[in-house]
Amino acid sequence: MSDSLAANKALVERYFDGQRSGNLLSALDLFAPDITWTVAGFWEMAGTIKGDEIKKLLEGLSVFDGGLHFDHHSVTAEGDRVAVFTTVQGKLKDGRVYKNQIFFQFTIRDGKLLNVIEAPDSATSKAFWMGQ
């Protein structure tokens, strides 16, 4: 694996390490100033956000007690992209447990995360977050 691919994979893993630690806002240091985050699909939580909206998203996820656990099934790096297929699990402060499979594609520019595409199991997300 080339040095740039290894560096890209390490950057993405630092993102997940912050999520595991419960310090979700630590990811902000890894983001390019013009980062975009897209939740894929055609459902209520789908769409693209950027800037301060991403910070609000991460702050909203601070409802997890003790961070999130990720079980990566695959991590693939090619060019400026890293793709991760993972199972995420976390316990909310109210005791409920969230578990979902998510595909992420991270695009890296100049050692920063430029674009994130997140494709969760939308039925699981919708049922958990929206009660539908």
Phi, psi of 110 (to 5 degrees): 55, 40
9-64 pLDDT tens trace: 999 999 999 889 877 778 889 999 999 999 999 988 899 999 888 888 777 767 78
Q: How many helices (H) and strands (E) does the chain have?
A: 3, 6
DSSP string, 100-125: EEEEEEEEEETTEEEEEEEEE-HHHH
pLDDT of residue 1: 64
Q: Record the pTM.
A: 0.91
Q: Which two tokens stand for residue 18?
A: 């912050």
Q: Which two tokens stand for residue 39?
A: 């939740």
Q: Which two tokens stand for residue 100?
A: 């979902």
Residue 113 has pLDDT above 80, yes or no: yes
55-99 pLDDT tens trace: 887 777 677 888 899 999 999 999 999 999 999 999 988 888 999
pLDDT of residue 2: 79
Class of domain 3-130: alpha beta
pLDDT of residue 120: 95
The residues spanned by each domain of the chain are: 3-130
